[in-house]
Amino acid sequence: MASRIFFCLWGYLLLVLPATASAALSPYYYGGTCPNALPTIKRVVEAAVSRERRMGASLLRLHFHDCFVNGCDASLLLDPSPTIDSEKNALPNANSTRGFEVIDQIKSEVDKACGRPVVSCADILAVAARDSVVALSTIQANFLVYYCCFEIFVFKMRTKFSDLLSPFSDLPELISGFKKHGLNEKDLVVLSGGHTLGFAQCGTFKNRTYNETYNINPNFAQKLRSSCPPNGGDRNLAPLDPTPARFDIAYFTNLKYKKGLLHSDQQLFSGGSTDNLVKTYSSNPQAFWRDFAKSMVKMGNIKPLTGNQGQVRLNCRMAN
């Protein structure tokens, strides 16, 4: 126990008990079955992030997209097959989500370190997201993830894909989209802070750049237009905030100057009910960190599969 606590306690520890946690969910779940599991995941994530900083962003996004479609069940990792209508082909994911090879590598190294497949792909996604954020953080920080979740092995309904939010959504739609998963306005704002990392493709912010002149900083829009032409160039990248490889508060500061990249980002600071939260986080990194950790735990506990509801996959890309 002492050594495990030591492992988890470095830096600034947050132990948050989510309201939805069942008895089966525990931050110490692998302590008995495979003490090497978490250090192994961390090692592979750190290596991947040092090869390419953006990978941290991509891994964080995978966990989010997994959790918002039918709960955190690693359904996103399933490749298309005659029985699987893969989430990878859904509009918000196709040609956009990335990092699947890193997840494969983690899975293979974790199974080797444990001597057998005990760590679920859903848990790998959650831990990799946490380790990515920690690797790119500007302050020493960490938080516990609650594990145990198994993965789904049944056919997915395509209609569920609409649970992923669109970057063209207005604030009420974003709020209700999060509420559907038991997440409130604070969760929405602080988790959108995930956009302190990573990049978006021109097709997701083109309309905002050219048509939202009433709500975008003109110099910022001008700069974006040079890499995002009115026609074509849809896959050109722009950073979601000025420091895309640093987990900091620049995302929120930026919103105050109407420099949010996506329409959905700027919606969080456009005279609506979430303005004050944006102001708080833009001036208080500790508050951002604390609330982000709490909301990540909440998001990681959306409909977890426990016991015989699921399986631990041998290969994250297919059901056993």
Ligand X SMILES: *[C@@H]1O[C@H](CO)[C@@H](O)[C@H](O)[C@H]1NC(C)=O
| Cα distances (Å, whole numbers) of residue 320 to 30, 69, 102 | 21, 21, 20
Binding residues for ligand X, total number by CB under 6 A:
10
Site string for ligand HEM, 100-139 (x = CB under 6 A): ----------------------------------------
217 lies in the site for ligand HEM, by CB under 6 A = no
Contact 265, 253 (CB under 8 A): no
Q: Find the helix or strand (DSSP H, E) in which 199 lies.
A: strand 199-201
Residue 114's CB: how many other CB atoms inside 10 A? 17
Cα 116 to chain centroid distance, Å, stands at: 27
197 lies in the site for ligand HEM, by CB under 6 A = yes
Q: Which two tokens stand for residue 18?
A: 């989510």
Supply the minimum distance, in Å, between the C-beta of residue 173 and ligand X.
Answer: 12
Q: Which two tokens stand for residue 3?
A: 């050594």
Residues ≥6 apart with Cβ < 8 Å to 163: 68, 69, 70, 177, 180, 181
233 lies in the site for ligand X, by CB under 6 A = no
- Bridge partners of 199? 239
Residue 65 bears catalytic tag: yes
**Whole-angstrom distance, CA of residue 47 vs CA of residue 44:** 5
Site string for ligand X, 84-123 (x = CB under 6 A): -------x--xx----------------------------
**Whole-angstrom distance, CA of residue 293 vs CA of residue 249:** 14
Supply the minimum distance, in Å, between the C-beta of residue 239 and ligand HEM.
Answer: 9
* Interface pick for ligand HEM out of 45, 134, 165, 224 (rule CB under 6 A): 165
Supply the minimum distance, in Å, between the C-beta of residue 206 and ligand X.
Answer: 5
Supply the minimum distance, in Å, between the C-beta of residue 56 and ligand HEM.
Answer: 8
Interface residues with ligand HEM (CB under 6 A) are 54, 57-58, 60-61, 64, 96, 98, 165-167, 169, 174, 191-192, 194-195, 197-201, 204, 240, 262, 264
List residues near ligand X by CB under 6 A: 91, 94-95, 168, 206-207, 210-212, 230
What is the set of active-site residues? 65
